[in-house]
Chain A
Amino acid sequence: MIKKLLLPLLKSIFRKIRPVERDDFLRFFSILFIALLILSVSFWAMTKLLLYFRSIELIGEILTRKVLSIIYLSFFFVLIMSNLITAFSTYFFSEDLNLIKSSPVATYDLFLSRFVYTLIMSSYLVMFFFLPVLFSYGYVYKASLTYYLTSIPAFFLFLLIPCAIGSAISFFLVTVFPARKARDFLFITAVFFGIALYILIRVLRPERLVDPERFRDLANYISSLYMPEKFYLPSYWLTKISFDALSGKINVEFLFLLLTGSVSITYLTMLLYRFTDKIAWSKAQEAKGAPITRSTIFNKLFFFFLRPAGRVFRAFLLKDVKIFFRDTAQWSQIFLLAALIAVYLYNYYVLPLDRLPFPTLYMENFVAFVNKGLAGFVVAAVATRFLYSAVSLEGEAIWVIKNAPISPRKFLMSKAVTGFLPLFVLAEILIIATNFLLHTTKFMMVVSAIHIAIIVVGLVSLGIGIGTLYPNFKYENVAQIPMGYGGFIYMILSLLYVGISVLLSAVPIYTFFKLSLNLSVYSYQIFLSIIFIFTLIILHLEVIYRFFKLGEKAFESLEVF
C-alpha cells in the first residue's frame, strides 16, 4: 500500500524533471551542466581548504574535523526547518489528501508514504551539497572504500532524524493551532530563528578561526577551537562516524546509535501522527476568515498621493501592497532584510582598514568601489526573491489580469515600480551608509549612489523580463517561485550584469577619482574612460529596454490554462 501511495508522488517529481520536448532537453542539460559545475567548484574549493588546513602543524586535524562538524550541524538545522515547512503541505494541505483520506488507507501507510515524500522534497539539496563534502574529505585523506560504505548509509540514516523532528513539530503545531495560523506562526518563528542564527554567526566572526594572530596566544586559539560539541546531536554522531571512517575505522557504537536513534524517532513520530492525526486534520480544514486590518486613512492617503499615477496603476499597486501585508510568508521577510542590512553594515564597521599597509584614503575608496559590486550582488539576491517572483505572485488569479483590457506594459510597469522602490531604498542604504562608515570622498559617494540606482533599474527590468518568461502560477509556497529554472537564469544573469557593470566602471571611476583629488592623469586614461562610460551606458540601456520588452512579449503570448 505504501508503494501505491508513494508512486503517484514520485511519478510527479520524475515528470517534472524528465525532458520531453526539445526545449526541455536544452533546459535539462543546461541545469545538469550548471549542477556539475557547482559540484566541481565546491569540490575544488573544499579540497583546497582542507589541504591548507591539514598543512597547518599541530591544529590541522582539529580544523578539518571542526569544519566537518560545522557543516553537518548546519545541515541538521537547515533540514529541520525545511522538513517542517514541507510537512505542512505534505501532511495537511496537498490537494490529493481529500481523496486519500476518504479511502480505506491505514494511518501507518499514509504516514510512511508522506514521510518518504517529505524526506525527498526537503533533503535533495542537502544531499546534493553532501557530495562535494564526502568526496573532498575522501580525496584529501586518501580514504579507502570503507569510508564511503560507512559514511553514505550513515548520512541517509541521519536524514531521517530532522525529517521526523520537522514532521513531529508540524503535527504538534497543527493540533494546537489551526493549520493556517500555525503556518503563519511558523513563518515568523523561522524568520526570527534565521535572523538570530545569522547575527550570532556574524558577531562570533568564525573567520577569526583562520587568523591565529588575533588571539593572545596559541593556547587561547586552540581552546577557542574546542567550542562545545554536543554529544546528543546526530550531527556529532555523523561527524564521528565519518571522521573515524577516514582512517579506515568503523565506529560501530556511533553507527548503532545513529541507527537506533533514527529508527526510534521515526517510529515515535509515526505514533504521534496516529495519535494527533484526526484532530490535526480537522483543524487543518478550519482557520478560515483570518482577521485583517482595514485602514481607511491608509486608503485615503494612498489615493491622494498616487492620484497622478492613473487609476489602473493605482489599483495594481494597492492590490499588491494589501496582499503583501496580509500574507505572513511575504511580510515577515522584511525582518530578514533588516537583519541583512544590519549585518552588512556591521561588517564594514569592523573592517580593519587602518591596519593595512596602504594609504587609508586609497584603501577606503577602493573598498567603497568593491562595495558597490557587493551591494549590487546583495540587491540581485533580494530581487530574485521579491521582484523575479512579482508576476508569478498573481497565482492562478492571473486570468483576471489576462482577461482585463490592460496592456502588458501597464501591468508590468506597475510590477516594476512596486519592485523598484524597496530595492532602490535597500541599495541606497547599503551604499550611502557603508560609504559614510568608510569616510569616502564626496565624489565616490555620489558616483556610487547614482551607479547603484541605475543598476537597480537594470535588475528590475531583468527580473520583470525573466519572471514573465518563466512564470510559476501554481506554486504552493512563495519560496518555490525563485527555485525554478527561470529563477536560476535570473540569478546568473543578474550577477553577470552587476559584475560587468561594476568592472566597466573601474577605469572611469579611478581616472575621475584622481582628477577629483587634483592628481595628474594621462590623456589616454581619459580617452579610455570615455569609451568605458559609453559602453556602460549602452549596457544599461540595452538591459533595461530589451528585458522589459522581453517581458511584454512574454505576457502578450502568455496562455492561461
Chain B
Amino acid sequence: MILIENLTKEFGKTKAIDSLNLEIKDGEIFGFLGPNGAGKTTTLKIMAGLLKPTYGRVIINGMDIWKEPEKAKRIIGFVPDRPFLYGKLTGKEFLQFVGDLYEVEGERERKIEEMLELFDLLEWADELIESYSHGMKQRLVMAGAFLHNPSVFIVDEPMIGLDPIGIRMLKNLFRKMQEMGRTVFMSTHILEIAEEVCTKIGIINNGKLIAEGTIDELRKKAKTESPDLETIFLKLTGKEIPIK
C-alpha cells in the first residue's frame, strides 16, 4: 500500500507539489495524469527516494521512504522517465549488478535470463548499453525493476519509446501484477492506456490533486457524459481546446 500525506515540494519559490494526499491500496493500478510540468515526475521521484519532500511523507507498506529508506526501497521497483544507465556495462552485467544491489536470492542468473527473455533483450544481453536504442534501454530498466520481484511499482511514463509489442507486453504484465496483489503507481500521458489499464486515476495540475477516483467517478466530477478519458481530463484541467 502507498500512502502519501500532505506531500509538498518546493524548488526555491516554486511549489512543484502542493499538499498532495493519496492512498493506493494493494492490487491497484493507479494512473497519475496531468499536463506537462504539473508535478508528476517530482511526485514519483519523491516516492522512489530520489528527491526529498519539503513537507509531508510517503509511506510504502508502512515504511517512510525517507526515514527507513533501505527497507522501503527493497520492496520498490522504480522506472524513471529517462533511462540513464551505465553505457560501459552490457545489459546482462547491468542486471547482475542490480541483482547484487537488491541481493536477489535464489538462482540469480536464471532470473536474469527470464527477464532478458521477457523484455526481448536476450539477443542484446552481451552488448554494451551505449549501443542500445532508447526503447531497449527503457526495457532494460524495466527488467531491472522487476528482477527483485517488488511489491510496489513506481513507473514514470513507461510506454515512451516502446514499440506496440512492448506496450502490449507491459500492459499484460501490469495486469498480472495486479492479480498477484501488487501495487502499480504509473504516470502517463497516454490517456488510452490509463483508461485501459488503471483501476483508479488521479489528476494533478499545478502541483495540486484536482481529482481522484475511477473513470466513472471522474466523469461525474467533470460533469460530462463523454465516455472517453481525454474529454474528462481536458475538462478537469481546464485546458479544453475550442473546436473552430
The chain A residues found within 8 Å of chain B, CB to CB, are 21, 288-290, 292, 294, 311-312, 314-315, 318-319, 322-323, 326-327, 395-397, 399-407, 557, 559-561
Contact = CB atoms under 8 A, between A and B. Distances in A.
A322 B88 contact: yes
Q: Which of B84, B126, B130 has the most CB of A within 10 A?
A: B84
A399 B81 CA distance: 11
Interface of B: 12, 45, 48-52, 69-74, 76, 78, 80, 82, 84-86, 88-90, 93, 96-98, 100-103, 126-128, 130-131, 144
Given A326-B88, A396-B84, A402-B49, 16 more contacts: A288-B130, A289-B127, A292-B90, A294-B90, A311-B103, A312-B101, A319-B86, A319-B89, A323-B89, A326-B128, A397-B85, A399-B50, A401-B101, A404-B98, A406-B70, A559-B50
B86 A560 contact: no
Contacts, number: 87
Q: Which of A319, A322, A396, A407 has the most CB of B within 10 A?
A: A319
B126 A294 contact: yes
B45 A400 contact: no
B128 A404 contact: no
B101 A315 contact: yes
B78 A403 contact: yes
B48 A403 contact: yes
User: Main secondary structure on chain B at its contact with chain A?
Assistant: mixed
Contacts of A312: 100-101, 103
B128 A403 contact: no
Contact of B98 (A288, A400, A559): A400
Contacts of A404: 73, 98, 101-102
Contact of B128 (A290, A318, A319): A290
B73 A405 contact: yes
Nearest to A407: B70
A319 B128 CA distance: 13
A403 B100 contact: no
Contacts of B84: 395-397, 399
B78 A327 contact: no
B88 A315 contact: no
15 contacts: A21-B12, A289-B127, A292-B90, A292-B128, A312-B101, A315-B101, A322-B89, A395-B84, A399-B48, A403-B49, A403-B73, A404-B98, A557-B52, A561-B45, A561-B51
B130 A405 contact: no
B11 to A, nearest CB: 9
Nearest to A290: B128
Nearest to B71: A405
A319 B98 CA distance: 11
Contacts of B45: 560-561
Nearest to A288: B131
